[in-house]
Structure 1
Amino acid sequence: MSDTHVINVQRREDEGKGASRRLRTSGNVPAIVYGGELKPVSIQLNHNEVWLASQNDWFYSSILDLSLNGDIQKVLLRDLQRHPFKQQIMHLDFQRVNENETLRTAVPLHFLNEDKSPAGKSAEAVVTHELNEVVVECLPKDLPEFIEVDLGNLAVGDVIHLSEIKLPAGVTVPELKLGKEHDVAVVIAKLGREEAVDAEAPEAAEVPAAKVAKKEEEKKDAKK
């Protein structure tokens, strides 16, 4: 279960692009809260506070407590729009969650002990993280901020699949219900030399000896 994260907000009365522009100029961020049985509500948040929160994994994957003058609504962040080149958040979308209803959302993966593993210690090994997050289903109370993947025993040639990840209690991966072909690789450890050999092979096979000999024969026939 994740920790409690309180985000202070204020109700926003003005709508439209002009109002949003003025809001950003004043150091705030326009946002909206929707979902559940209540109507969508326009809100605003302090930009500096949101910016600091956005540097953490929990901001994207945890249940957030939006506090409007002490009135708490539990939500998930569903969309975050950033400025193309400035360090500025432009808009946020939050979805209300029902504590008694299963939700589906992406949770980041945290890889542990890679540097201590046999593959991590090998200078010839290349360890790739095929996934950095996984979509899970669970009740809001069971939603983890992240899922740990222990790579302490990872050896060269090993492949860790989605089904091998240890999930917290009450958490499932809906992708695995779709069949074995959806049990994708999460981590792969292989020899770096293998890639170099494979990359050279096509070049060596581009002009095989038999093909060269055939061209020489064709040239001789043409001269006759």
Structure 2
Amino acid sequence: MSEFKLEAKIRKSIGKNKVDKLRVEKLIPSIVYAKGKESMPIVLDAKEFDKIYLGAGTSNIIDLEIDGVTKPALIKEVQKHPFKNQYIHVDFLGVDMSEKMRVVIPVVLEGRDSIRVQPSVLMQLVNEIEVECLPADLPSEAMVNVEEMQIGDTLLIKDLDVFNNEKVEVLVDPEEVIATLSEPREEEIEEEIEEVDASDVPTVGEEEEEASEE
């Protein structure tokens, strides 16, 4: 069972006018796709989905409670209104817990705000990787700690924690570089110095005030 649970109902409203009415009622017209099965139109509460989406993202199994029946699924695609804070549609991928699946998961560089070597510039070259495993073994992310990196160091796919997980197959070249640490360029240092110096220059108002005091 998943730690993420989301209630849904079979959606009988089809057509633009009807789905627009659902959105006005703070509901999201959605659909569940599953291999070898007919797609299932459902409807979700927008507020409840927002909470689940924030925690689960697209790489965690969700237990969809559809009219009392539990169906494990992944959030496959989320459509949002271009300028309104509103969900337009959500696609779910139904999951067979007994079959391996391929999923893209995010790469997380842990401790990037605590790198001991400063000044330095951390470049992340890979943001996500594809893995294959049983749904129950699906990691939510691929992580590596970067706090102890030194100038000139590089991290590879094989340095990620999931690479050593026997239950997970990483479908990416293990020698691919995911992050590098380098010295800041001279231009960046000069810009920082200029910004500091500019803050010390008095404004026109400050100059006039100083003159009047004299």
1:44-193 alignment runs, 5 A limit: 44-56=43-55, 58-119=56-117, 122-123=118-119, 125-167=120-162, 168-176=165-173, 183-193=175-185
- Identical-residue share of aligned pairs (%): 27
Q: Is the 8 A contact 2:111 2:146 kept in 1?
A: yes
Q: Give the C-alpha shift of residue 187 in structure 1.
A: 1.0
Q: Give the C-alpha shift of residue 111 in structure 1.
A: 2.0
Q: Is the 8 A contact 1:161 1:186 kept in 2?
A: yes
- Equivalent residue of 1:155, what SS? coil
Counterpart code for 1:104:
R
| In 1: Cα distance, 2:2 partner to 2:154 partner | 32
Q: Is the 8 A contact 2:29 2:90 kept in 1?
A: yes
| In 2: Cα distance, 1:71 partner to 1:139 partner | 22
Q: Is the 8 A contact 1:162 1:185 kept in 2?
A: yes
| In 2: Cα distance, 1:137 partner to 1:129 partner | 23
| In 1: Cα distance, 2:97 partner to 2:48 partner | 26
Task: With the length of structure 1 as denominator, give the TM-score of the two structures.
Answer: 0.76
The answer to whether residue 1 in structure 2 is matched with residue 6 in structure 1 is no
Aligned to 1:33: 32
| In 2: Cα distance, 1:115 partner to 1:88 partner | 32
Counterpart code for 1:146:
E
The answer to whether residue 17 in structure 2 is matched with residue 18 in structure 1 is yes
Q: Is the 8 A contact 1:142 1:171 kept in 2?
A: yes
| In 2: Cα distance, 1:45 partner to 1:169 partner | 36
Aligned to 2:210: none
Task: With the length of structure 2 as denominator, give the TM-score of the two structures.
Answer: 0.80
- Equivalent residue of 2:22, what SS? helix
Q: Is the 8 A contact 2:31 2:39 kept in 1?
A: yes
Q: Is the 8 A contact 1:59 1:77 kept in 2?
A: yes
| In 1: Cα distance, 2:186 partner to 2:101 partner | 42
Aligned residue-pair number = 187
| In 1: Cα distance, 2:131 partner to 2:181 partner | 25
| In 2: Cα distance, 1:184 partner to 1:84 partner | 35
- Could you report, residue by residue, the CA deviation over 1:183-209 in whole angstroms, capped at 9, with x for unpaired residues? 32211101112677xxxxxxxxxxxxx
| In 2: Cα distance, 1:169 partner to 1:97 partner | 21
| In 1: Cα distance, 2:123 partner to 2:76 partner | 28
- Equivalent residue of 1:100, what SS? coil
Counterpart code for 2:11:
R
For structure 1, the residue ranges without an aligned partner over 5 or more in a row are: 197-224
| In 2: Cα distance, 1:51 partner to 1:8 partner | 12
**Whose radius of gyration is greater, 1 or 2?**
1
Q: Give the C-alpha shift of residue 3 in structure 1.
A: 4.8
RMSD: 2.1
